Homo-oligomer: A and B are copies of this chain.
Amino acid sequence: MALSTQPYKGARDFYPEDKRLQKYIFSIWRNVAERYGYEEYDAPILEPLEIYLAKSSKEIVNEQTYAFKDRGDRSVVIRPEMTPTVSRMVAAKRQELAYPLRWYSTPNVWRYERPQRGRLREHWQLNIDLFGIESLEAEQEVICMAHDLMVAFGAKPDMYNIRINSRQLVNAVMQDYLGLDQVQSATLSRLIDRMHKMEHATFVAEVDALFTPSQREAGKSDHLLDLLKIKSINGLPAQLKDHESVKELSQLFDSLKNLGIANATFDISLMRGFDYYTDIVFEVFDTDPENNRSLFGGGRYDGLVELFGAEKVASVGFGMGDVTLAGFLESHSLVPNLQTETDIYAVSLGEDTQRAQKVISELREMGLNVATAPNGRKLEKEIKTALKKGIPYMLFIGEKELADEQYTLRDLKAEKEERHSLQRIVSIVKDYRKQ
Give the shortest distance, in Å, between A75 (CB) and chain B (any CB).
11
B369 contacts A34, C-beta separation under 8 Å: yes
Give the shortest distance, in Å, between A211 (CB) and chain B (any CB).
36
B44 contacts A122, C-beta separation under 8 Å: yes
A274 contacts the other chain (CB 8 A): no
A137 contacts B308, C-beta separation under 8 Å: no
Return the CB mask of A30-71 against B: 1 if under 8 Å, else 0: 000011111111111111101100100000000100101111
B19 contacts A40, C-beta separation under 8 Å: yes
Q: For the complex formed by this chain, how many copies does it contain in all? A: 2
Which residues of A353-398 are within 8 A (CB) of B? Answer: 354, 357-358, 361, 364, 368-375, 384-385, 388-389, 391
B34 contacts A341, C-beta separation under 8 Å: yes
B36 contacts A364, C-beta separation under 8 Å: yes
B50 contacts A3, C-beta separation under 8 Å: yes
Residue from B12, B68, B135, B388 within 8 A of A68 (CB atoms)? B68
Task: Return the chain B residue nearest A132 by Cβ.
Answer: B374
Return the CB mask of A330-354 against B: 1 if under 8 Å, else 0: 0000000000111011000000001
Cα–Cα, bound, A132→B69 (Å): 41
Cα–Cα, bound, A375→B34 (Å): 21
Residue from B19, B98, B384 within 8 A of A39 (CB atoms)? B19
A308 contacts B5, C-beta separation under 8 Å: yes
Residue from B37, B309, B375 within 8 A of A5 (CB atoms)? B309
Give the shortest distance, in Å, between A427 (CB) and chain B (any CB).
18
Residue from B36, B98, B99 within 8 A of A370 (CB atoms)? B36
Task: Return the chain B residue nearest A51 by Cβ.
Answer: B3
A88 contacts the other chain (CB 8 A): yes
Residues of B within 8 A of A230 (CB): none
B103 contacts A16, C-beta separation under 8 Å: yes
- Chosen A-B contacts, 30 in total, with CB atoms closer than 8 Å, are A2-B307, A3-B51, A3-B307, A3-B308, A4-B88, A5-B309, A7-B88, A8-B46, A8-B74, A8-B76, A11-B46, A13-B41, A13-B92, A14-B43, A15-B89, A16-B41, A19-B42, A23-B40, A35-B364, A39-B340, A46-B78, A66-B70, A68-B69, A70-B112, A71-B112, A98-B385, A100-B371, A137-B372, A259-B357, A259-B358
Interface residues of chain A, those whose CB is within 8 Å of chain B, are 2-9, 11-16, 19, 22-23, 34-48, 50-51, 54, 63, 66, 68-72, 74, 76, 78, 88-89, 91-93, 98-100, 102-103, 108, 110, 112, 122, 132-133, 135, 137, 141, 255, 258-259, 307-310, 340-342, 344-345, 354, 357-358, 361, 364, 368-375, 384-385, 388-389, 391
